[in-house]
Structure 1
Amino acid sequence: MEKLVKLVLVTILLLISTVSLPAIAQDKPDGAQIFSVHCAGCHINGGNIIRRGKNLQKKALKKYGMDSLAAVQSIVTNGKNNMSAYKDRLRVEEIQAVASYVLEQAEKGWR
């Protein structure tokens, strides 16, 4: 009976650790990965294949008032004109991560 109890406890612990690991991985989304999957199709290397002038370079972001975290998060969330909304595809944390990534890359000149 004691062996059975130990086996059940070990099984429960293994199940808990297996279930908890994906949740931990989701806590800190990777902005670069999200950008690669959802954004790079139109914005490869910070460009814009639809409207060249409205790219993700620092100068353009500033010109169009998109040079703050709140502004980038808003456009990713709600979309605008040709830009699709991602509020139904990405979690808030993922939107924050990709917005941070965009601003970081703009500062670096998308190198």
Structure 2
Amino acid sequence: MDGWRRWALALLALLLMGWVLWPRPALGLETAAVPRTLESRGASLFAQHCVGCHLNGGNVIRRGKTLRLAALKRAGLEGAEAMARVAAHGQGQMAGYGAVMGEDGAQAVGAWVWEQALADWPKAEQKITKEPS
């Protein structure tokens, strides 16, 4: 093989290896620039920090202290701001999560929780229709 062809082939192989091995941004970094809605951020933060005790708006620690609309009204908690205040600072035995939710995280969770309470905490299984018998 001629000398210049050997060099051209080596250069082509080097360029191909560089293209294949060049680091690409992580999947999470690509989506981080996309602005998220308040609702999706609230749902995500709720899933990360709250669902362990408040699955489907319930309460596995204190049965009567749920996130259902009637229970919230009994506790004097009405509106997204009240929910955000409890999420950030806690209430009673519940600790606050404002520091771990980040800036405006409590507001996002509060808005999402209040929306779910108004909708009576819809569940995915309620959307499934029965098959005809």
Scaled to the shorter chain, the TM-score interval is 0.7 to 0.9
Q: Deviations over 1:75-109 (max 9, x none)?
A: 11111222111121112321111101101100111
TM-score, with normalisation over the residues of structure 2?
0.62
Name the larger-Rg structure. Answer: 2
Q: Which runs of 5+ in 1 are unaligned?
A: 1-18
Provide closer, same or farther for how the CA distance between residues 24 and 60 of structure 1 changes in structure 2, counting only shifts above 3 A.
same
Alpha-carbon RMSD: 2.2
1:69 is matched by which residue type in structure 2?
A
**Which runs of at least 4 in structure 1 moved beyond 6 Å after TM superposition?**
none
SS across alignment from 2:52: helix
Consecutive unaligned residues of structure 2, counting only runs of 5 or more, are: 1-28, 123-133
Higher relative contact order at CA 8 Å, sep ≥6: structure 1 or structure 2? Answer: 1
Normalising by structure 1, we get a TM-score of 0.73
- Measure the CA separation in 1 of the matches of 2:78 and 2:71: 9
How far 1:23 sits from its partner (Å)? 5.2
Structure 1 residue aligned with 2:130: none
CA distance in 1 between partners of 2:93 and 2:33 (Å): 33
The 5-angstrom pairing of residues 32-47 of structure 1 reads 32-47=43-58
The size of the alignment, in residue pairs, is 94
